[in-house]
Copies of this chain bind each other. A is one copy, B any other.
Amino acid sequence: MKDVASRAGVALKTVSRVVNGEAGVTPEMTKRVLGAIDDLGFRRNESARLLRTGQTAALGFIADNSADPDQAALYRGLEEVATEKGFLVYSGSTRGDPEREERLALALCARRVDGMVIVPTPSDHRYLIAEVKAGVAAVFVLRPPPRIAAGTGPGDTVLGDAVVIDEPGGANAAVAHLIKHGHRRIGYVGGGPGGYRSQRLVLGYTEAMTAAGLPVDQTWLSLTPGDLADAGVTAVLCGSRAHTAQVLRALAATGRARRTAVIGFGDFELADLMSPGITVVSYDPVRIGRTAGDLLIRRLAGDDQPPRLVELPVRLIPRGSAEFSPED
């Protein structure tokens, strides 16, 4: 910019004015500056501008695994609203490692992102307190961050808004659907009982069983795909796409594919073309990202209401794998 100024024989400020399209520059001057810009191949350094103006117009996205289809779609949703509002977005992933999450988040904060959308690892996120206090907004997706017991405060601290899926509602609908088709012994294959999603799915499952007056055998709630053959259940709810795949493989291997009802949590391509078609509880991951982006940007605009937990709806899609009655 200095070079441009001296080549055009004007002051730095005039170049700045031209570059920013500010009014009040003689056409002749403008032309001279533009000429110099062209000769020198000048391109304004946005980072320098942002430093001076104190903005960054950048967001961060911290995934668990960026290759996961849900998270990729989620990212797409975030990106849409970010682009719309003029933000660029940094992204990275943790692979579930709390240390990587902390490193990444702090690196983003050090670059002064305005806010971050985080798929949180199961850790305490204490490291974020200082950053949030310093003004970085955080929105958590898929899982809320664990509440942090404040050392000195009056209660628990919540670091930011969260956008999650309505797992309880989905599991409830799935199990009720199975019950309606005559199933009474229904298993659940999902993550360990510690996981957030798993807990919530089991919650919905239990609600539906209780509402129908059916007893729940605790062993049904911690099944692995390998257990299915001997578990005595006539139907299974799978906690994630990966579990659905494992369950289908196990059932195919033992020849029970058409005798065990299956509902998967999370839709997938070609689920309709399997035989039977796989009934799923479906949700819209792009919308999670968009919602998170909206919340984040609202916070950046100054909204300082208490942190919100947004639960996105799910939908049961019957395709055949769950719509038959048990044989016994």
Interface residues, chain A, CB within 8 Å of chain B? 41, 43-48, 50-51, 56, 58, 65-69, 71-73, 75-76, 79, 83, 88-93, 107-112, 130-131, 133-134, 241, 245, 248-249, 252, 268-270, 272-275, 286
* Bound form: Cα–Cα A85–B9 in Å: 42
Q: Which residues of B contact A108 (CB under 8 A)?
A: 88
A66-B76 in contact given A88-B90, A134-B43 (Cβ < 8 Å):
yes
* Min CB gap A289→B, angstroms: 9
* Min CB gap A244→B, angstroms: 8
* Min CB gap A236→B, angstroms: 15
* Bound form: Cα–Cα A76–B45 in Å: 28
* Min CB gap A87→B, angstroms: 10
Q: Which residues of B contact A93 (CB under 8 A)?
A: 76, 79
Say which residue of B73, B107, B130 sits within 8 Å of A88 (CB atoms): B107
Copies in the complex: 2
* Min CB gap A275→B, angstroms: 5
* Bound form: Cα–Cα A69–B285 in Å: 14
Say which residue of B45, B71, B79, B274 sits within 8 Å of A110 (CB atoms): B45
* Min CB gap A42→B, angstroms: 10
* Bound form: Cα–Cα A68–B73 in Å: 8
Say which residue of B45, B72, B273 sits within 8 Å of A66 (CB atoms): B72
Q: Which residues of B contact A71 (CB under 8 A)?
A: 72
* Chain B minimum-CB-distance residue to A61: B91
The 4 closest A-B pairs by CB, nearest first: A72-B72, A46-B110, A67-B76, A67-B73
28 contacts between A and B (CB under 8 A): A41-B133, A43-B130, A43-B134, A45-B112, A46-B110, A46-B111, A46-B112, A47-B47, A47-B51, A66-B76, A66-B79, A67-B69, A67-B72, A68-B72, A69-B69, A69-B72, A72-B72, A79-B92, A88-B90, A88-B107, A89-B91, A241-B269, A245-B269, A248-B270, A268-B269, A270-B270, A274-B275, A275-B275
Q: Which residues of B contact A269 (CB under 8 A)?
A: 241, 245, 268-269
* Min CB gap A247→B, angstroms: 10
* Bound form: Cα–Cα A89–B61 in Å: 10
Q: Which residues of B contact A134 (CB under 8 A)?
A: 41, 43
* Min CB gap A76→B, angstroms: 4
* Chain B minimum-CB-distance residue to A108: B88
* Min CB gap A201→B, angstroms: 20
Q: Which residues of B contact A131 (CB under 8 A)?
A: 43
Given contacts A67-B75, A67-B76, A72-B72, 14 further A-B contacts (CB under 8 A): A41-B130, A41-B133, A44-B110, A47-B50, A47-B56, A47-B111, A66-B72, A66-B75, A66-B79, A67-B73, A88-B111, A245-B269, A245-B273, A269-B269
